[in-house]
Amino acid sequence: MSTNAKDLRHPLKRARGFGSAQSGVGHWWTQRVSAAALVLLSLWFVFTVLSLLHADYSTAKAAVAKPWNALLLILFVVTMFWHAVLGLQVVIEDYVHTRWKEVVLLVAIKFLAVLGALAGVLAVLRIALGV
């Protein structure tokens, strides 16, 4: 293994890909990649909702049940919650300075986001699969 004399980190640390803040770069990248995905997905979502403005129940349900729409809706729901957790995490870390409150909030938003994402995905699947 070639070692850089200037690198003070242990080779194992580098192999694990952790920077100085352990997982900061991963968080930063995931937030940006999910943002780029949401640019497309949220525009698609707004167009879809607008196209269903005066649709009755069965038309709206049939539209969501279309394979492409169901797929994109699931993508939208998952990416939306993922991006929201990453953003809220930074806000909580910035403004909540009491450690236990910070940890409780960080865990709570993750629980809520997983719950919301799974509920949304399950709803789309029920509509798409007709169960």
Partner 1 sequence: MADTRRPLSPHLQIYKWQVQMVTSILHRATGIALAVGTLLVVWGLLSLAAGEAVFDQFKICIGSAPGMMLLFGWSWALFYHLCNGIRHLLQDTGAGYAIPQFVRSSWLSVVVSLVLVAIVWACVLTSGGAA
Binding residues for partner 1, per CB under 8 A? 32, 35-36, 38-39, 42-43, 45-46, 50, 53-54, 57-58, 60-61, 64, 73, 76-77, 80-81, 84, 87-88, 91, 97-99, 109, 113, 116, 119-120, 122-124, 126-127
| Structure tokens belonging to residue 108 | 């709570």
Residues 29 and 17: their CA atoms lie apart, in Å, by 13
In angstroms, what is the minimal distance from the CB of 89 to partner 1? 11
For residue 115, give the amino acid letter. L
Residue 20 corresponds to which tokens in the numbers above?
């100085």
* Cβ at position 10, least distance to partner 1 in Å: 29
* Smallest separation, CB 63 to partner 1 (Å): 10
Considering beta carbons, is residue 5 or 39 the nearer one to partner 1? 39
Q: Which is nearer to partner 1, 4 or 58 (CB)?
A: 58
Q: What are phi and psi of 3, to 5 degrees?
A: -115, 135
**What is the closest distance, in whole angstroms, from the C-beta atom of residue 56 to partner 1 in the complex?**
9
Strand, coil or helix: 2: coil
Which class for 73: exposed (0-12), middle (13-18), buried (19 or more C-beta within 10 A)? buried
